[in-house]
Chain A
C-alpha cells in the first residue's frame, strides 16, 4: 500500500472508539419540537435534521469521504432506541472489553439533555414494558436473547441499484408510485402516501448531505497549499455534488455513492449488521472495465480507492452495546461482510478482475472491518479459491468461505426467484439473503442446551429455581429415549411460542414507531408497495431464530441415549445427581461421559443421527411459521459470542461439560470432542440439511505448518470443495499462533481438536509429548514477530 493508505490505515487503527453525543443531541432537539405527523414523516424529518446539521468530516488525505460521527470512531448513540443511563456510560467508559471513551462533557449532555427526555420513552423501554411475564422469565434465564432491544432491524444488503440510478431517479419512482395510489378503493392509500412522502424527504436529505461534503471539500481546496491535494479535493467536491443524486459514472464515484448510502442507513437507525455493499466485485466491474478502457483508471488507482474505502468501514465501530446484547455480540465489528465471487444472475461464473483486486485489498489491509468472504460456486475457478486460501493461511481469519450453490438453493427453497437468489449472498456472520430485496431479520439466539436442561428439570431452571418451562415429567420416569425426545420437543415448542409471540409485538412496534423511510428507498419493493422496510415493504420478509449449541446439545443427548437407555452404564437418577452436583464427587462419571460417548464431529452415525433428530426438531418447530410482515420464519445456526453467554447461564450437561462453561459454537463440534480430524468433522457437519437453513457456521482450526507450501493450499482447497460437494453452507479457518499453542499446552481439554503439522505428517497437538510440543511452539514463534 502507498503512504497515503498506510497513514489512513494507521490512523484508523489507532483511533480510540468514543461516544459522540452529536446525533443524540440533534435527535432530541428534533423530537422536542416535532409536531403531530405520521410516524414515517416524523422519522423522515428527523433524518433530514440529522443530514442537514451533523458535522461534515473530511480527513486529511482521504479520497472517499464521510463519517457517521464527527470524527473516525466517534460513535453516535440512538437514544430513541436505547437511552443509555449514566451507569451505562460509566460501564462503557471503563469496561475491559469493547470500551468506548465517554468524556465528562458527553456525560453531562446525557445527564442534562438526553436522559431527561428519553428515559422511559426509548424503544427498549417500550419493548420491555410490553413483554409478557413468561417472556421476561425465559429472557432472564438465558433461554433466548432479543435482537431488537437496543438495535433496529437491519440485516439487509444492497444490490446494484444505486449504480444504475441516482436518488433523483428514485424520487421519480416515488412520484410514480404516489400517482398510482387509489384513494377510492385502497383503504391503505393514505398510509402509503405518508410513507412515500417520507421517502421523498429522505432522498432530498441524502443528496443535501452529499452536497455539504462537496461544499466542505471546495472550502478545503481553496485553503490547500499542496497542488496535488488541492486537485484531489476539487475532484472530491465534484463527485459529492454529483452522487448519489445522479448515478455514478466512474469507479471513484461508485464507491463514494455507496458510502453516502451506507452512512444514511447507519445514521437513520442503528440497524443490525451495519449495512453492506454485498457483491462488490460484481457492482464495480463495469466501472473498472470502463475506467481502464478510457484511461481514467489504472489497476493501482482502483486499488488505492478500494483501500481508502476499506478504511471508512474500519472507522465505524458497532454502536455501543450493553447488557445481554453486549454479551451476545461482544465486538466492535459491525458485520459489514463484503462478498466476492459467486454467480451472476444468468447463472454464469461471477469471478472477474475486480474479484482478485478485492482479495488483494483484503490481504493487504488486514482490517477487521469490513469483514470479507468469498462465495464459492462449483462454477468458480480453483485459482479463485486458492487465492483466498493463501490469505486464510496468514491466520487472521478472513476471508470466510461460503458455498454459493447451497446459498442459492436455500434462497430458492424460501421461494425467491432464481435471479434474486443468484444475485444474493451472505452477510453478517453467515446469513443468506436476496440482496437489495429482502429484509432478513435475526430476532434472537435460542439456547438449545438450556432447553434440554429445563427438560431434565421438569420445567425448572435449576440455576434460579424458577419454573420457566412446561412440566414435561420427571425424567427418571422416562422409559425410553423417545420419551426424552418427546419431552424436549414440547419444551422447545413452549419456548419458541414465547419467543415468537414477543417477536410479533416487537415487529409491530418497529413498524408503528420506527419506520426507516431512507432504507426503504433502496430495498425493493418498498417504493412500489408504498410500504416501509420495517412493515413488510421488502419483496421478501424473512425472520430467523438462531440456534446455539447444537454440538453440545447433540453430545448431551447422545450421552443420555447411549449410557442411560442403550448401554445402561448409568441410571437417569445417577446422571441427574451428577449434573446437580456439577460432577463434584462424580469425576469417574464425568470421564465416562467425556471419553466413552459417541460424539458429534467424528463421522460417527450414532452421534450424527442424534444430531439430525435435534436439527429436525429445531427446524420443524420454527421453519414456516408466519411473521407479521407476510413472511416466514427459518432457522440459522450461528453464535457470534452468544455461546459463551449461554454457557454462563447453563449448568453442567450430560456431555461432561461443567456448569457455566461455553457451549459449542455454530455447528462446530464441542471443543475437543472431534478426535478424527477435519474430514470427519466435515462429514458430520454435512449430514444436516443446510439447504433448509438460512446459514450455518463451521469453524476449523489449523496450525500454520499444516497449510505450508502449495500442497497446504491444495489440501485446504480440497477440504473446502469436499465440504461444499456435500452441501455445507460455510466454513472458516483459524490458523493459530504460538500463544494459542501455549494456551493449549496448559489447558489441553479445551484444545483437543487442534491439529499440528509435525514432520511429514499431522497429529493432534495434545497427543504429542511435551518436548515435541515445545519444539513446535518454538518453530511457530519464529514465524511471528
Chain B
C-alpha cells in the first residue's frame, strides 16, 4: 500500500523493488508483495497490508488488553475479510481464548461450509452475523454468490440456540428496499434467538484504502443513506419485535 502524502521522494524503494512495480513514486499491478520496499522507506509511505502471524503471537497481543475486557465486559472479535476463510487458524485462536476465559466473537458473512460453522460454533461466544439480501437472485447479483449457505448456517446456529447478533449493512439502491427489509425482519424474528440487530449505514471510508491499494472502488458515486431513512428501516425491523441498534 502506498501513502503518497507521506513520501519524501528519497527513491530508495526504486533501488530494491524486485519486480519493477515501482516507478515515479507509484505502485502498479506488477507488485508481487515481496516487501523489499517497506524497511527502506523511512517515511513510512509504504506499508504491507496484512501479515503472517502465529497463534501464540496473536494471543500475546490479545492478552495485553485483558484489563479492558474485564472492566467493560468486552473481549475479542475475529473479523476480516472473512475469518471463516481461515477456519483452522480461527479455531485454534478460539480454543486459546476459551482457555484464557476471554470472550470471543466471530464477525462473519456466514458464507462457509456447514462443517466449518459446526466446528467453530462450540468455541464461539457470539456470532456477529451479516445479512444483506433475502432474495437469492439479488444476492447472487450483488455478491456473486448464493445466500443459501448463509441462511442455512444461520438456521443451524439458531437451532442450537447460539448467541447471535445480526448485522445489516444498509446500502442505498442495493438492499434498502422495503421488501428486502421486511423479508429480513420476518426471517430473523422466525429464528427467535437473535439478541440484537445492528443496522450499519453504508459509508465510504474504504474508498481511500482502495486507491492506496490501486484497486477500483465500485461505488464511487454512492452516498451514505440519510438519517431519516435509517430511522424508517429501524422502525420497520422493530415492528417484528426485534431489538435494534444503529451502529455497533
Contact = CB atoms under 8 A, between A and B. Distances in A.
Interface of A: 587-589, 591-592, 595-596, 603, 679, 683, 714-715, 718-719, 721-722, 725-726, 758-760, 763, 768-769, 772
A381 to B, nearest CB: 15
A772 B205 contact: yes
B42 A726 contact: no
Interface in B193-223: 198, 200-201, 203-205, 207-208
Contacts of B39: 596
A679 B12 CA distance: 35
Contacts, number: 60
B44 interface: yes
Nearest to B44: A595
A679 B247 CA distance: 21
A683 B12 CA distance: 35
Contacts of A718: 68, 71-72
B67 A603 contact: no
A587 B72 contact: no
Interface residues of B, number: 25
A719 B67 CA distance: 10
B205 A759 contact: yes
B209 to A, nearest CB: 9
A94 B205 CA distance: 48
A715 B207 CA distance: 28
Contact of A722 (B42, B68, B200, B204): B68
Q: Which 9 A-B pairs give the minimum distances between C-beta atoms?
A: A760-B247, A591-B42, A595-B44, A769-B208, A592-B42, A718-B72, A759-B203, A591-B43, A722-B71
12 contacts: A587-B10, A591-B8, A591-B42, A721-B71, A722-B71, A722-B72, A725-B67, A759-B200, A759-B203, A759-B247, A760-B198, A772-B208
A759 B247 CA distance: 8
A758 B205 contact: yes
Contacts of B208: 768-769, 772
Nearest to A603: B64
A588 B10 CA distance: 7
Nearest to A726: B67
Contacts of A589: 42
Contacts of B144: none
A752 to B, nearest CB: 11
B15 to A, nearest CB: 13
A172 B68 CA distance: 55
Interface in B13-42: 39, 42
B248 interface: yes
Contacts of B198: 760
B134 to A, nearest CB: 23
B198 to A, nearest CB: 8
Given A595-B44, A596-B42, A683 B204 contact: no
Given A591-B44, A772-B205, 8 more contacts: A588-B10, A591-B8, A722-B67, A722-B68, A725-B67, A758-B203, A758-B205, A760-B200
Contacts of A715: 72
Given A768-B208, A769-B207, A772-B204, A760 B67 contact: no
A595 B42 CA distance: 6
Contacts of B8: 587-588, 591
B65 interface: yes
A591 B43 CA distance: 5
B10 A760 contact: no
Contacts of A726: 67
Contacts of A760: 198, 200-201, 247-248
Given A722-B67, A725-B71, A759-B247, A596 B44 contact: yes
Interface in B208-248: 208, 224, 247-248
Interface in B153-204: 198, 200-201, 203-204
B37 to A, nearest CB: 13
A405 to B, nearest CB: 15
Contacts of A592: 42
Contacts of B203: 758-759
Contacts of B67: 683, 722, 725-726
A251 B201 CA distance: 53
B70 to A, nearest CB: 8
Contacts of B71: 718, 721-722, 725
A155 B176 CA distance: 63
Contacts of A683: 64-65, 67
